[in-house]
Structure 1
Amino acid sequence: MTDLLRPIEILRPTRLEFGAGTVGIVGQWAREQGITRTLVISGGFNAKRVDVLGLPGEVTVFGHVKPEPDLPNLDAALAMAEQVKPQLVVGFGGGSALDLAKLVAVLPGSGQTLHEVVGPEKVKGRQVKLVQVPTTAGTGSEAGTRSLVTDPATEQKLAVQSRHMLADLAVVDAELTMSVPPAVTAATGVDAMAHCVEAFTSRRAHPLIDLYALEGIRLVGRYLARAVADGSDKEARAGLMLASLYGGYCLGPVNTTAGHAVAYPLGTRQHIAHGHACALVFPHTLAFNAPVMAEKTALVLQALGLPASSDEGVVRESTHAFCARLGIEMRLSALGVPESALESMATEAHAIRRLLDNNPRDISAAEILAIYRRAF
C-alpha cells in the first residue's frame, strides 16, 4: 500500500501508567521529581477529590473548568498560575480540564499569548512539569498534543498543537470513572469512538494508526453498553478508558474529519456537550462517507457489533440505533436547537477546513445543512 510509504510521526507521553489503582503513582512521581508546588486544573467535582492524587508540598486547585472552556475560563486559570508559579501542572478531569492544563503549562512566563500559539507547533517551550489524569473515557486528551478553547467573540474553537504540551506522565485509572453517570458515560464513549472512526476513514488514515483506531472501535462496541447499564462494571470501565486512549493516539498524526467539524457548532453555539454532539452527527457523517469508504465503513459496523454494510441508509439507521439504545437523545429539536440556526451552523462548520480537508468525501455547506436537518 502506498500509505506505508507516507511518513508519520507518533508522539506519546514520556511515561504512561494504565490500570486500576494507578492514580497513586502521581504523588510518588511528583516526590521523585522534587516537586513542592503544584497547580491542579479541574472541574468542580474533581476539585473535591484532589487528595486521591497524593501530591506533596503546596497544592493549589483551579476548580472552575467549564464543560466547553472559553478564553475567560483560560484567562482565570492562567492568572492563578501566575500567582502560584507552580513547578508542576496537573490536569485532573475530562478533556476540558486536560486541555486547559496543557495551555497553563506552556503559556505563563513564555511571553506568548494564546492567539500567537494557535495552529501547529508555535509554542516556544515549557518550563514546568505536566501530568495528565483523565476521569472520563472520551477525549483521550491525556495522550495528545492538542488543546481546544472557544473564542466567545466568534463562537469558534481555537486549536493549539504542540509537542511541548505532551505530558511527562499520564495516569489512566479506570477507577476514577466509576462515578460518571450513564448519560455522560454514553456521550463520552461515543466521542472516543468518533475519534477512532474518523481517523480510520480519513484521507490521512495510516496503517500505523488504523491498528489503534479499529481496536478502539471494537472496545466501544464491546464495553460501552455494559458501562452505561452498570457503572460499577470495572472491566467495562477499563475497556472504555483504553478505547479513549487509543482515540487520543489517533488524534495527533491523523486527527478527525467531518464528524467533529459538524459537531463543533452544536457545542459552541448551542452548548450541547461535545460527546453528545458527536453522537448526534456520527450516523449521518459515517453514512455520507460510506460510498467512498465502503470497505472501512463495513469494518466499523462490524467492530461495533452491527451487521457489516456500506449502504448509506443501512449505515445511518444501524448506527443511529446503536446510539439511541445507549439512551442518547438523537434529535436536535428535542435539545432546544432552533431550526433557524441550522443554516448559519452549516456555514460555520463548512469553514473548519483543518478537519474537512481530511474528510474522504468532499462535503458542501448544503450537504452539512442536510445533515443538520436530518438530525433535527
Structure 2
Amino acid sequence: MTAIDNPITIHQPQQLEVGTGAAARLGAWAAGARRPLVIAGEHTAGYVDALELPGQVTVFADIPPEPDTTALDRAIAVARDCRPDLVVGLGGGSVMDIAKLVAALWDGEQTLRDVAGPNRVQGRRTTLAQVATTAGTGSEAGIRALVTDPETKSKIAVESPFLLADFAVLDPVLTYSVPPAVTAANGIDAMAHCVEAFTNIKAHDLIDGYARMGMSLIGKYLPRAVADGQDTEARAGMILASYYGGICLGPVNTAAGHALAYPLGTRLGLPHGLSNAIIFPHVLAYNVPVRLEKSREIANALGLDFDDSPESLLASAHAFCRDLGVEMRLAKHGAREQDLPGWAEEAHGIRRLMDNNPRDMTVGDALEIYRAAL
C-alpha cells in the first residue's frame, strides 16, 4: 500500500468555534447546562467569565503544568461533589487532558488504570467543551490524554473517541497573555506535532495536508506572535496551527521527538512545550537521511538554511528556536551529565512513539541527542 490508500480514521470535535470573541459562544451552546464544572489552571481561571456559562458554575483551578494522578484524583473528587452536566477544559494541553479524563471517569466505575491504553473507555457520560488558551498541544482536537504517574515518573496515556470534545473554541484573544518565551516553546511544540506526523512511518497524504498547513502558519506567524503578544492575526494563525497539529496526532501521532521530551517533563519538571522545543532540532536533523524531501519542505516552511546535510538543518533549526527566546541548553534547566543515560533508556522504552520514527533510534543515539542538547 502507498500512504494515500492506507485506511485512516479522523476524529474532530462535533462543533468548532474559531476567531476573535469565539469564547463567548460557548454560553449560548451550553444554554441548558445547570452545573458546569470548569477545569482551569492558575493563569486561566480568570477567563471563566468570558465563557458566559449558565447555571451554577464550579471552577477547579488547581492543575499544575505537568499534572499527575494526584491532580486528576482531586479534580474527579470535585466533579463528584458538584455532579456536573458539562465539563469545560479552559487552558493548555494539561488542563484539557484532565478535563477529558474527568468527563469520562467522574460518574462511572472505571479508574485511570482501567482506561489506560487505546479504546478502553466504556463511554463518556458528561458533555465536554474545550477552550484553548495556548497555541501548542492541540489537545482540543484530539482523543488522547496524558497524565504522569508520580511513582514511576512515566506518562500514562489514554486514547478513546469518548475523550473527544463536543464543542471546542479557538479564540486568539485568550492567548494574549501567554509570555513570549512560552509562546515560542508552545509554537515549536505545535510544529513538532506537524513535523513528527509528517515524517512518521504512519504518514498519510490526508494528514500531510494538515501538517503542511500547520507548518506554513507557524513559519509565518510564530515570530510575530512572540514579538507582539497582542498581534491578533498572528495569535489566530498560531492557534489554528496548533489545532492542525492536534489533528495530526489522532491517526498518526508523534515519534522519537516526543519520546525524548517526556523525561524532561517528568524528571526536570519542564513544561511540555519547552521540553519539545529543546529536542525538536535534534530529532529533525537525525531523520534527514531517511526523509530528505520532507526535510526540505520543513526547512522551507520555517525559512531555515538547509544544504541537505543533517548538520546544516540542526544548526539552523537550533538558531530558529534560540532566537525566539527559548533556552535550549538542558544544563540551564537543571540537567546533569549523569542523568542522561537513564533518560535515554526511559525514552527508548516509549515504544508507542519510538516505533513511529522513520529512522531507528538506539539508546546510544538517544543519549547522544541528550548530550548534544545539554
Pairing of 1:285-300 with structure 2 (within 5 A): 285-300=283-298
Q: Contact conserved, 1:4 with 1:206, CA < 8 A, in 2?
A: yes
Q: Letter of the 2:326 partner, please give it.
A: I
Match of 1:94 in 2: 92
Match of 1:20 in 2: 20
Q: Contact conserved, 2:39 with 2:88, CA < 8 A, in 1?
A: yes
Q: Per the alignment, in what secondary structure is the counterpart of residue 48 of structure 1? A: helix
Q: Contact conserved, 1:292 with 1:361, CA < 8 A, in 2?
A: yes
Match of 2:327 in 1: 329
2:120 to 113, 122, 130: 122
Q: Contact conserved, 1:37 with 1:58, CA < 8 A, in 2?
A: yes
Q: Give 1:5 shift.
A: 1.6
Q: Per the alignment, in what secondary structure is the counterpart of residue 340 of structure 2? A: helix
- State the alpha-carbon separation in 2 of the partners of residues 226 and 289 from structure 1: 28
Q: Contact conserved, 1:297 with 1:309, CA < 8 A, in 2?
A: no
What residue ranges of structure 1 are gaps of 5+ in the alignment? none
Q: Letter of the 1:25 partner, please give it.
A: R
Q: Give 1:308 shift.
A: 4.3
Match of 1:305 in 2: 303
Q: Per the alignment, in what secondary structure is the counterpart of residue 255 of structure 1? A: coil
Q: Letter of the 2:22 partner, please give it.
A: T
Q: Letter of the 2:310 partner, please give it.
A: E
Q: Contact conserved, 2:306 with 2:316, CA < 8 A, in 1?
A: no
1:251 aligns with 2:218: no
2:136 to 135, 138, 143: 138
- State the alpha-carbon separation in 2 of the partners of residues 330 and 307 from structure 1: 19
Q: Contact conserved, 1:295 with 1:310, CA < 8 A, in 2?
A: no
- State the alpha-carbon separation in 1 of the partners of residues 198 and 364 from structure 2: 25
2:152 to 145, 150, 154: 154
- State the alpha-carbon separation in 1 of the partners of residues 22 and 213 from structure 2: 23
- State the alpha-carbon separation in 1 of the partners of residues 272 and 46 from structure 2: 24
- State the alpha-carbon separation in 1 of the partners of residues 171 and 184 from structure 2: 18
Match of 1:371 in 2: 369
Match of 2:42 in 1: 44
CA offsets, 1:41-95, max 9 Å, x none? Answer: 0001221331111000100001001100100000000000111110000000011
Superposed structure 1 runs of 4+ greater than 6 Å apart: none
Match of 1:202 in 2: 200
Q: Structure 2 length normalisation: TM-score?
A: 0.99
Q: Per the alignment, in what secondary structure is the counterpart of residue 44 of structure 2? A: helix
- State the alpha-carbon separation in 1 of the partners of residues 74 and 308 from structure 2: 47
Q: Contact conserved, 2:305 with 2:312, CA < 8 A, in 1?
A: no
Q: Letter of the 2:109 partner, please give it.
A: G
Match of 1:267 in 2: 265
- State the alpha-carbon separation in 2 of the partners of residues 130 and 61 from structure 1: 15
Q: Letter of the 2:9 partner, please give it.
A: E
1:358 aligns with 2:356: yes
1:347 aligns with 2:345: yes
Q: Contact conserved, 1:203 with 1:359, CA < 8 A, in 2?
A: yes
- State the alpha-carbon separation in 2 of the partners of residues 19 and 309 from structure 1: 38
Q: Give 1:214 shift.
A: 1.2
Q: Contact conserved, 1:202 with 1:359, CA < 8 A, in 2?
A: yes
Q: Contact conserved, 2:304 with 2:313, CA < 8 A, in 1?
A: no
CA offsets, 1:84-120, max 9 Å, x none? Answer: 1100000000111100000000001221010110111
Q: Contact conserved, 1:145 with 1:163, CA < 8 A, in 2?
A: yes
Q: Contact conserved, 1:145 with 1:164, CA < 8 A, in 2?
A: yes
Q: Contact conserved, 2:63 with 2:94, CA < 8 A, in 1?
A: yes
2:168 to 167, 170, 174: 170
- State the alpha-carbon separation in 2 of the partners of residues 295 and 222 from structure 1: 21
- State the alpha-carbon separation in 2 of the partners of residues 10 and 301 from structure 1: 27
Q: Contact conserved, 1:14 with 1:168, CA < 8 A, in 2?
A: yes
1:242 to 240, 243, 265: 240
Match of 1:29 in 2: 29
- State the alpha-carbon separation in 2 of the partners of residues 260 and 359 from structure 1: 10
Q: Structure 1 length normalisation: TM-score?
A: 0.98
Q: Letter of the 2:130 partner, please give it.
A: Q
Pairing of 1:2-13 with structure 2 (within 5 A): 2-13=2-13
Sequence identity (%): 57
| Count of residues in Structure 1 that have an aligned counterpart in Structure 2 | 374
- State the alpha-carbon separation in 2 of the partners of residues 181 and 312 from structure 1: 31
Q: Letter of the 1:329 partner, please give it.
A: E
Q: Give 1:310 shift.
A: 3.0
Q: Per the alignment, in what secondary structure is the counterpart of residue 209 of structure 1? A: helix
Q: Give 1:306 shift.
A: 1.8
Q: Give 1:8 shift.
A: 0.2
Q: Contact conserved, 1:222 with 1:305, CA < 8 A, in 2?
A: no
Q: Per the alignment, in what secondary structure is the counterpart of residue 193 of structure 1? A: helix
Q: Per the alignment, in what secondary structure is the counterpart of residue 45 of structure 1? A: coil
Q: Contact conserved, 2:199 with 2:358, CA < 8 A, in 1?
A: yes
What residue ranges of structure 2 are gaps of 5+ in the alignment? none
Q: Contact conserved, 1:200 with 1:209, CA < 8 A, in 2?
A: yes
